[in-house]
Homo-oligomer: A and B are copies of this chain.
Amino acid sequence: MADSPLVLALAEAAAAGDRGEVPVGAVVVRDGVVLARAGNRVLELRDPTAHAEILALRQAATGLGQSRLDGCDLWVSLEPCPMCAAAIALSHIRRLHFGAYDPKGGGVDHGPRIFDQPTCHHRPEVVGGLAEAECAALLKNFFRDRR
């Protein structure tokens, strides 16, 4: 996993945790080039939509000067929530890679299973459960330390 964009996503997640945010990080890659990387900034920006994935998708799209990210892949440390999963579909992300599964808050393999809906107009390939132990530990330790 050393060269995987997941390492960058995990670093963004850890940095978010250091800022007191729920530790989630996301990276957008196209043709091996990192186009955007972001961590959760909901509290800092006072923005309920400022999840790592949303920030990374916006950064990549504005950077490319286009509202769709065809051919781009997203790497996230945690299973995206329903808002982020739907944003991934709207962005036309080619492939979604994520770390830990999130049975309580996820929207890909749990909850509304956004990409399985007949009304979902774009379905990325999905590879979930990467470095599951490491990604899950990041969150577990964060919430344990705040108790």
User: Residues of A with Cβ closer than 8 Å to B?
Assistant: 42-43, 45-50, 54, 57-58, 61-62, 64-69, 81-83, 85-87, 90-92, 104-107, 110-114, 117-121
Contact = CB atoms under 8 A, between A and B. Distances in A.
B48 A57 contact: yes
Contact of A86 (B50, B64, B83, B120): B83
Majority SS of interface residues in chain A?
A: loop
A112 B117 contact: yes
Given A47-B61, A67-B43, A87-B83, A111 B107 contact: no
15 contacts: A47-B58, A47-B62, A48-B61, A48-B67, A48-B69, A49-B49, A49-B54, A49-B58, A49-B87, A50-B67, A81-B90, A82-B114, A83-B86, A110-B119, A111-B119
Contact of A105 (B46, B57, B81, B119): B119
- Number of copies of this chain that the complex holds: 2
Given A46-B65, A66-B46, A107 B90 contact: no
Given A48-B61, A48-B68, 14 more contacts: A43-B67, A46-B64, A48-B69, A48-B87, A48-B91, A49-B54, A82-B83, A82-B85, A82-B86, A82-B114, A83-B86, A106-B119, A107-B112, A112-B113
Contact of A111 (B65, B105, B117): B117
